[in-house]
Amino acid sequence: MARRKDIVIEGAKFTLQSVSPTWYYNFNDECSLGNGKRDSVKFLDGLIRNCVISPAEVASKGLGYFDEKDDIRTAEMLFKSIESFLREGRQPRASEKESAAK
């Protein structure tokens, strides 16, 4: 089951949803050009489109949403928040915490 998290950046609320590690690494590879370079626009756009579920306009337009607003700062902050959120991983349930403590 995908994890979700609400975040606020520059006064705007975004709802993030996790992607599978397999999807993330395949997409990461897809955005690598093989010569040590990376297609950063494709990577950022793909992460936004696949991890942001609200606001719907951001989810559907991806990086284009921020192009329209001429807003690099929020796009960068959102990207960092998505990367951090994906790396947090699934948090253990209370029952799992109790089992680990024993």
Contact between 32 and 40 under an 8 Å Cβ cutoff? The reply is: no
Contact between 6 and 39 under an 8 Å Cβ cutoff? The reply is: no
pLDDT at 94: 61
pTM score, whole prediction: 0.81
Query: Bridge partners of 7?
Result: 14
CA dist 96 and 94 (Å) reads 5
Q: What is the pLDDT of residues 28-82, one digit of tens each?
A: 999 986 677 889 999 999 999 999 999 999 999 999 999 999 999 999 999 999 9
All structural domains of the chain with their residue ranges: 4-90
pLDDT at 2: 85
